[in-house]
Amino acid sequence: MQIVHYGTIDLQPVLSVPLSGTLCSLYEMSGEGVSCSLPGKDSMQTDKILISGLEFYAYHGASDQEQTVGHRYQVDARLEVDTRPAGLSDRLSDTVSYSRVAKRLMEVGTQEQFRLLEALAARMTQAVLADFPSIECIVLKVQKMVPPMNAIVASVGVEIVRSRSAEG
């Protein structure tokens, strides 16, 4: 695995995973989480659209009680997309509408039901990649706020990376 130099910061890959012939490298930088590096593209040169702190109330959970009572969820998404056309034209039609992506994430989160956060996150990324063809890769973090467990924690969650080429 190769260190990526970004200005004065060196990023060390923490994991490289082959996905359908694509090597997706996960990088850690100052708590920023992971990003996806596609072949022939420098992940630090890829534009990103960010959605942070999207919240909704839904009925996911391993137990029947969790699926009845419900919980508050929080989603963060990092969408890798070429924003240069929109930067030049200043037209929404030349980019991905973060409002439409947020709405789609909310639809999946509130209208479908899952036992596991992993399944919820996988379905959300599948829906976004299917509905927004210009998104090349998505890093999605889904958290269940104040989960029912024998410890006091602010949240539990998953963070997954899915790329278009890995979808098939």
Identify the pLDDT of residue 9. Answer: 40
Identify the pLDDT of residue 37. Answer: 54
0.85 cut: is pTM over it?
no
Identify the pLDDT of residue 152. Answer: 96
In terms of C-beta density within 10 A (0-12 exposed, 13-18 middle, 19 or more buried), how is residue 35 classed? buried
Contacts of 91 (CB under 8 A, 6+ apart): none
- Worst-scoring range by mean pLDDT, 17-26, 30-39, 57-66, 139-148? 17-26
pLDDT top residue among 27 and 73: 73
Identify the pLDDT of residue 18. Answer: 43
pLDDT top residue among 21 and 75: 75
pLDDT category, 164, cuts 50, 70, 90?
confident
In terms of C-beta density within 10 A (0-12 exposed, 13-18 middle, 19 or more buried), how is residue 63 classed? exposed
Identify the pLDDT of residue 62. Answer: 95
144 in catalytic set: yes
Identify the pLDDT of residue 165. Answer: 75
Any idea how long the chain is? 168
**pLDDT for 19-55, tens place per residue?**
444 444 444 433 445 556 555 555 456 899 999 999 9
Which is the catalytic residue, given 41, 103, 141, 144?
Answer: 144
Identify the pLDDT of residue 36. Answer: 63
Identify the pLDDT of residue 34. Answer: 57
